[in-house]
Amino acid sequence: MADPPLHDGIAAAALYNDASRQLVLSFKHGRKIALAPMLARLILTRLPALDGEWLIVPVPLHRSRIWQRGYNQSALLGQEIARRRNQKMLYDGLIRRKRTPPLGGLGKKARARALSGAITFNPKRARQLNGARVLLVDDVMTSGATTQACVKALKRAGVNKVRIACFARVLDEAL
């Protein structure tokens, strides 16, 4: 209560466990991009109705990570969600302006340090973001450091409301 979240809610399809971990790793690192429609459908089962117009914005990857991987898995999920909910996809609403190390295995404070100054809103999209409602899409929400950095950047752009949608969520109390 002393430190309320900046976002307006989280919809997660699954808890992060062995089964969801296997799906995410296959999708993210195993190049199984054909999993995107199924994972997005599972997210949509937990996502409340989006009343009115929303912008679907994926968590950004640094360009070197996109070159290495070949795709942004959050953008693939967002594309499916946008299509199924008839909302506008804004692929480049956020920019990861500095390369960050892989965050797997880092604690909450280390993740926050690694992300400090890494994510900003795209100034070319400032007019679209100002006053908008945004659904921020990610594959996995671990400590919340990445989504927190994204939400802060979106709020600096003047976004009115931010909801988070992810496939899997790590909850300490569930472990």
Query: In whole angstroms, how far apart are CA 69 and each of 32, 164, 167?
Result: 11, 23, 19
pLDDT score recorded for residue 174: 47
Residues 107 and 136: beta-carbon distance below 8 Å: no
CA pair distance 162, 75, nearest whole angstrom: 17
CATH number for the domain whose boundaries are 10-174: 3.40.50.2020
Q: Is 49 exposed, middle or buried (0-12, 13-18, 19+ CB in 10 A)?
A: exposed
- Please check the confidence at residue 94 and state whether its pLDDT lies above 80: yes
CA pair distance 42, 133, nearest whole angstrom: 22
Q: Is 12 exposed, middle or buried (0-12, 13-18, 19+ CB in 10 A)?
A: buried
List residues bridging with 120 in a β-sheet: 95
pTM for the whole structure? 0.92
At 79, which amino acid appears? Q
Which of the four pLDDT bands, split at 50, 70 and 90, describes residue 173? low
Domain boundaries in the chain? 10-174
pLDDT score recorded for residue 1: 61
- Please check the confidence at residue 53 and state whether its pLDDT lies above 80: yes
Higher local confidence (pLDDT), 104 or 78: 78
For residues 128-154, average pLDDT: 94
Query: In whole angstroms, how far apart are CA 90 and each of 13, 18, 74, 76, 135?
Result: 22, 32, 12, 12, 10
- Please check the confidence at residue 107 and state whether its pLDDT lies above 80: no
pLDDT score recorded for residue 119: 94
| DSSP reduced 3-state for 58 | strand
32-36, 37-41, 85-89, 112-116: least confidently modelled range: 112-116
pLDDT digits 0-9 by tens, 24-38: 999 999 999 999 999
